[in-house]
Amino acid sequence: MTTSSTWWAIPVTVASVVALAYALVQLTVEPESVQKKRHAMHVLSEVQNISDTVVAKLDILEVDVHHLLDSAKADSPNDVPLNSYYHFDSTGKKLKSKWDSYDVDAELDKVDDDTATSALRRPTSSPDQLRRKVGELEHEFEAVRS
- Tell me: the pLDDT tens digits for 72-127? 777 665 554 554 555 777 787 877 777 777 788 888 888 888 877 765 655 667 77
- What distances in angstroms separate CA 43 from CA 40, 138, 142, one per listed residue? 5, 19, 14
Query: What pTM did the predictor assign?
Result: 0.44
Q: Let me know: does 96 contact 80? Beta carbons within 8 Å.
A: yes
Residue 125 neighbours by CB distance under 10 Å: 19
- Give the count of domains, the chain: 1
Full residue range of the structural domain in which residue 140 is found: 2-145
